[in-house]
Chain A
Amino acid sequence: MSVAAAAMGLAMAVAAVAAVAAVITPASRRQPVVGVATAVAGAAGLVSGVAAMAGSGYSVALPWLLPLSGLAFAIDPLGGLFVAVVGGVAVVTAVYGIGYRGHGLGSRAVQASFPLFIGAMLLVPAAASAGTFLVCWELMSLASLVLVVTEHRHQPRVAQAGLWYAVMSQLGLVAILIGLLVFAAHAPDDGFGSLRAAAEQLPPAARGVVFGATLAGFAAKAGIVPLHAWLPRAHPEAPSHVSALMSAAMVSLGGYGIVRVGFDLLGDPGRWWWLLVLALGAGSAVYGILQAAVHTDLKRLLAYSTTENMGLVLVGIGAAGMFASAGARVLAGLALAAALLHVINHAAFKALLFLAAGSVLRATGTRDLDALGGLRSGMPVTTALFGIGALAASALPPGTAFVSEWLLLQSLVHGLPAAGTATAVTMPVAVAAVALTAGLAVATFVKAFGVGFLAKARSPAAAAATESPPTMLAGMAAAAAACAGLALLPALLLPAVGHAVAAADAGAADPAVRSAVSLRLVGVAGSLSPLLLATALLAAAAAVLITVRLVARRAGRVAPLWDCGGGPLTARMEYTATSFAEPLQRVFDDVLRPELDVDVSHHAESRYLVAAVEYRRRVPDPIEQRLYRPVLAAVAWWGSAGRRLAPGSVHRYLGYGFYGVTALLVVLAVTR
């Protein structure tokens, strides 16, 4: 048995043991036991994924496990990449979860769902038939739903968030089901091998339906606009390590689905579909980061940032598809490699950011950036780790996202001569969209880090913050180490990513890499060495420090801040996150349509003297206002119209059945 198979089997076994242990262990030891076991399962999954990416694949069919179709698993380098991502995030969050106490977190149901969730997520990329895929997908959705509503007894908003999440994930499942069923109807059975073989004979209409339906379902899971509404609701209300798991691992499985169906199973759905994918990705990226830039709830900000990053992944996938359709295999491989590398990078830094946000929430009790600040003194380690995560997320060197965005930009920039006016128009727009998201991402994370962690505390809760327990710090540190490794030595990972690209049959394998230190692109001209850049930066900084030490000899002293002579500065005078984002919000207010409320109260003696001014700003999600509300209103109208069918008379209800049956029988008799 190959390494990948053995490791995956071990992961499943340990996950099952963890789930059982969650039910039978007493409450005092439940979280550590489940945490350790889940971490082991995650590590085994990580090993399995890495082994699969290196080439040791396997496949196993279990026809007896389920009626009608049985289960079939096979893992190839593409699936292995996602298994590795899930495994890695699982390890980090499980270690974090050992020490993360909270309302409802210790209950049996929640602790048992955690390993089940991770187990299902590990199996989804390993599924080798449509039935298996759907079963694992649904198991993943259900387990995550239980985890999302952990705190519903404590907070009423959680139940509402859970409802949104449940409805949208089920609708997504229905869409994927329709797509895969239409596909499987044209094939002898529902295994991925038969689907691949049947793809050539698929009529164009069926091809369109399959790709459209599966794209809708997977895009909903990935949080792509306009199907993103559950992301910013569910993530803030879920416990932080669950949010990390969902944001870093689960949403990337949406990307996996699109790559698997679009590139591997269907072959090529057509250039216009890939253009749609790219457009959706670019739109989500810009919209997501714009919303993140103006929101002050820390976890909501991170959730919108997930939409942005998934949008970038979809831009890469769409560009790869367009290049592959046009025959430019080298560029297609490069674009897809950029997208897959971004999935890995995003998993690393998003996990870190959410875990740090959870640490802050636990210490201060609030997620509102306008009430945080000054956490550096009480929580130095968390501050440093969040700083690393923010640098990684903001696409600046030497951060993690910089490498994958650089690769993406290289593929887009070299794609111009590829083919057709369509690419000539889309590539510059795509580059512009990626650039705008990069700029806004920098602004967003400066806001999140600067307002949330630096300067003075804006509320007593933030002033009283203390550092998190060591297990939580260990989980965060592991994620930070992963971010640093991915940032400095991405070239080590690229051969494996190249195998995944080849497995998806999307383009030429091995898009880059000659030496371990730098990336040199194959086929197009471009090279980058993140390690060299970081080293140069460090050397320059050292040189500056030494020069300053030599030249400026006087001893320093501490002095108060300049207060214009008006007395000591208070925390009320600091810039808040709302005020920081206000210029951006004003620039984009046609898109954002914020609701402003300014309340001026005057002194009793004179109308010209202002006693207090209250400024309230709400930025509702415009897509929710303009798309979801009308749809929900239409559904409600249908429902109330349908109520006329139910006047309360039992006879009427029975009559519906009777008349229906009789009519059917008459029709049967007549049409024989």
Chain B
Amino acid sequence: MSGWTPAGVLGAGLQVAMVVAGAPLLLGAMRQVRARLEGRAGAGIGQPWRDLRKLTRKEPIRPRGTTEVFRAAPVLLVATTLVVAAVGPFLTTSSPLDRVADLFAVVALLTLGTVALALAGLDTGTAFGGMGASREMTIAALVEPTLLVAIFALSVRVGSTNLGAIVTSTLHDPGRVISPVSLLAAVALLVAITAETGRLPVDNPATHLELTMVHEAMVLEYAGPDLALVELASAMRLAVFLGLLANLFVPWGIATGAGVAALLPAMVAFAGKVTLLGVALAAGEVFLAKLRLFRVPELLAGSFVLALLAVAASFFLA
């Protein structure tokens, strides 16, 4: 299905704009929810944008002894997330970049962003950077099987791993959403997404203790506009992952045809679903503590088993 229609191009552009503009707002909303539940006043939904603005106004600092990898990593991170934001089935199922909208390709692109950051962490030559990179790569390596097998489970009924095709087929067959396959795959993906985006219980995004840092340790040396890019990228990744989770399982509201008019309700639906998911995630985080790094593989193994069961169910219940 060729997406080079006005609706398709406009949809892709709007998706990117929404993700870029809305991701810090999503992050702010999640932090605000956590703060309120913990009895604090909170900094407001717009605080992440205020932080980004502050960071871009600062002086760019390049640590001595680092190479181009350190400078290129934030750019690459944001670029991969932008591409995923453009191809994902967020506002429309017919994207102009349909040839890239393969679920395996999308997952691999997001891993590419993680790799860029890990290399930057190693490039600093500090113990923090190395430690963060090491832990991040361990978690990423162990999350891959869950992600890919969950994608497998999703694609069996549809017969394709193309994102647009999966969403369209779920739209045509609403009963599939509450089947055991979908539920198991959804839970497995939720755990995997928690690991990939560095949320509790895998990683605490608000910590700066070296014993507990994973993502924060890698980006410790970044300052100024580079740090702004990294923060923006991590918010965008969260938004993109939540968007994928939402639209793969609950796609109603998405624009399927070539009509431009369907994009407005699609935007509202997307924003609503992602915010809802984010708020639920944040509320859940209040009750969780961070796991030891060496308990994380057990969690990921559990999610892997769920994904495997989803695949088995899709075969035996076919």
In chain A, positions 398-423 with a C-beta closer than 8 Å to chain B are 402, 406, 409-410, 413-414, 416-417
Contact between A434 and B148, CB atoms less than 8 A apart: yes
Nearest-CB residue, chain A, relative to B124: A561
How many A residues touch B, CB cutoff 8 Å? 78
- Answer yes or no: B126 CB below 8 A from chain A CBs: yes
From the candidates A434, A439, A518, name the one contacting B142 in the complex (CB within 8 A).
A439
**Beta-carbon contact of A528 and B138 below 8 Å:** no
A631 at the interface (CB under 8 A from B): no
- Are B221 and A562 neighbours in the complex by a CB distance under 8 Å? yes
Instruction: Determine whether the beta carbon of A446 is less than 8 Å from that of B133.
Output: yes
Among residues 255 to 284 in chain B, which have CB atoms less than 8 Å away from a CB atom of chain A?
Answer: none
Additional 13 contacts, C-beta under 8 A, given A554-B60, A575-B134: A427-B311, A442-B111, A443-B140, A454-B125, A455-B125, A456-B65, A456-B125, A526-B162, A541-B76, A561-B125, A562-B126, A574-B125, A575-B131
Q: Which residue of B61, B76, B121, B126 is within 8 Å of A573 (Cβ)? A: B126
A551: chain B residues at CB < 8 Å are 56, 225
- Return the CB mask of A559-583 against B: 1 if under 8 Å, else 0: 1111100000101011100011111
B288 interfacial by beta-carbon distance below 8 Å? no
Q: A439-B145, A552-B60 are in contact. Are A527 and B102 (CB under 8 A)?
A: yes
Would you give the 0/1 interface string for B235-271, flagging 1 where the beta carbon is closer than 8 Å to chain A?
0000000000000000000000000000000000000
- A431 and B293 CA atoms in complex are apart in Å by 26
**Residue on A with the closest CB to B109?**
A397
**With A376-B67, A397-B108, A432-B308 in contact, do A455 and B294 touch (Cβ < 8 Å)?**
no
Residue A537 interfacial (CB < 8 Å): yes
For the complex formed, measure the closest distance between the CB of A263 and the CB atoms of chain B, giving whole angstroms.
Answer: 26
Instruction: Given the known inter-chain contacts A436-B145, A587-B294, A587-B297, please indicate yes or no for A454 contacting B134, CB distance below 8 A.
Output: no
A428–B145 contact, CB under 8 A?
no
Name 26 interchain pairs, CB-CB below 8 A, sorted by A: A413-B151, A414-B159, A417-B318, A438-B144, A438-B148, A439-B144, A442-B144, A450-B122, A454-B69, A455-B123, A525-B165, A527-B99, A527-B102, A532-B97, A532-B100, A533-B105, A537-B109, A545-B75, A551-B225, A552-B57, A569-B125, A569-B126, A574-B127, A579-B130, A584-B137, A584-B138
Question: What's the least CB distance linking A490 to chain B, in Å?
Answer: 13
Given A543-B82, A587-B142: A548 touches B229 (CB 8 Å cut-off): yes
B86-108 interface code vs A (CB 8 A; 1 in, 0 out): 11000000000111101011001
Complex formed: what's the CA distance from A436 to B312 in Å? 19
Q: Which of A494-551 contact B (CB under 8 A)?
A: 518, 524-529, 532-533, 536-537, 540-541, 543-545, 548, 551
Please name the 4 residue pairs, one residue from A and one from B, whose CB atoms are nearest each other, closest first. Answer: A575-B130, A439-B144, A450-B122, A455-B125
Q: Is the Cβ of B160 less than 8 Å from the Cβ of A446?
A: no
A residues 427-457 touching B (CB-CB < 8 Å)? 427-428, 431-432, 434-436, 438-440, 442-443, 446-447, 449-451, 454-456
Knowing A396-B112, A446-B115, A540-B82 touch, does A432 contact B60 (C-beta < 8 A)? Answer: no
**Pairwise interchain contact A528-B99, C-beta atoms closer than 8 A:** yes
Q: Are A573 and B127 in contact (CB under 8 A)?
A: yes
Complexed CA–CA distance, A554 and B57 (Å): 7
Interface residues of B in 289-305 (CB under 8 A from A): 293-294, 297, 304
Contact in complex: A449, B119 (CB < 8 Å): yes
Residue B224 interfacial (CB < 8 Å): yes
- CB of A478 within 8 A of chain B? no
Q: Identify the A interface with B (CB < 8 A).
A: 293, 373, 376, 394-397, 402, 406, 409-410, 413-414, 416-417, 424, 427-428, 431-432, 434-436, 438-440, 442-443, 446-447, 449-451, 454-456, 518, 524-529, 532-533, 536-537, 540-541, 543-545, 548, 551-552, 554-563, 569, 571, 573-575, 579-584, 586-587
A587 to B315, CA, bound (A): 31
- A541-B72 Cα distance, complex, nearest whole Å: 9
Q: Which residues from chain B contact A536 at a C-beta distance below 8 Å?
A: 83, 86-87, 97, 100
Give the A-B pair count, Cβ closer than 8 A: 251
Contact assessment for A558 and B294 in the assembled complex, using a CB-CB cutoff below 8 Å: no
CB distance from B168 to the nearest CB of A (A): 12
Asked if B97 and A450 make an inter-chain contact with CB atoms under 8 angstroms apart, the answer reads: no
Give B122-178 interface residues, CB cut-off 8 Å to A.
Answer: 122-127, 129-131, 133-135, 137-138, 140-145, 147-149, 151-152, 155-156, 159-162, 165
Asked if B220 is an interface residue, CB under 8 A from chain A, the answer is yes
Please give the number of chain B residues whose Cβ is less than 8 angstroms from any Cβ of chain A in the complex. Answer: 86
Could you say which residues of chain B place their CB within 8 Å of the CB of A440? 141
Tell me how far the C-beta of A93 lies from the nearest C-beta in chain B, rounded to whole angstroms.
28
B36 within 8 A of A: no
**Interface contact A446-B137, CB-CB below 8 Å:** yes
Closest chain A residue to B314, Cβ basis: A416
Inter-chain contact A450/B123, CB cutoff 8 Å? yes
Report the Cα distance A373→B137, complex, angstroms: 19
Alpha-carbon distance A612/B195, docked complex (angstroms): 36
In the complex, what distance in Å separates the CA atom of A410 from the CA atom of B59? 47
| Known A-B contacts A450-B119, A455-B122; A559 and B129 likewise in contact (beta carbons under 8 Å) | no
Q: How far is the CA of A528 from the CA of B163 in the complex (A)?
A: 12
Structural contact, B138 and A554, CB atoms closer than 8 A: no
Given A556-B62, A586-B294, does the pair A450, B83 have CB atoms closer than 8 Å?
no
Q: Does B213 contact A (CB under 8 A)?
A: no
Bound CA span A413–B125, Å = 41
User: CA separation between A526 and B58, bound complex, in Å?
Assistant: 46
B185: interface (CB < 8 Å): no
For A454, the chain B residues whose CB sits under 8 A away are: 66-67, 69, 119, 122-123, 125
CB distance from B73 to the nearest CB of A (A): 11
**CB-defined contacts of A406 to chain B, threshold 8 Å:** 102, 104-105
Q: Is B27 an interface residue (CB 8 A)?
A: no
A564 to chain B: closest CB distance in Å? 9
- Contacts A396-B111, A552-B56: A455 and B156 contacting too (C-beta < 8 A)? no
B145 touches A529 (CB 8 A): no
Kindly name the residue among B61, B125, B129, B308 whose own CB sees the greatest number of chain A CB atoms within 10 A.
Answer: B125
Partner of B159, one of A524, A544, A559: A524
B204 interfacial by beta-carbon distance below 8 Å: no
Question: How far apart are the CA atoms of A611 and B80 in the complex, in Å?
Answer: 47
Please measure, in the bound complex, the distance between the C-alpha atom of A402 and the C-alpha atom of B133, giving whole angstroms.
22
Q: How far is the CA of A555 from the CA of B122 in the complex (A)?
A: 25
Taking the complex as formed, is B9 at the interface, i.e. its CB lies under 8 A from any CB of chain A?
Answer: no
Closest to A538 in B: B79
With A406-B102, A450-B122, A584-B138 as known contacts, state yes or no: A575 contacts B159, CB within 8 Å: no
CB-CB under 8 A from A545, the residues of chain B are 75
Specify which of B64, B83, B126, B140 is in contact with A442 (CB 8 Å cutoff).
Answer: B140
A581 proximity list for chain B (CB < 8 A): 134
Complex Cα gap A528–B315 (Å)? 26
Q: Report whether A435 and B147 are in contact in the complex, using a CB–CB cutoff of 8 Å.
A: yes
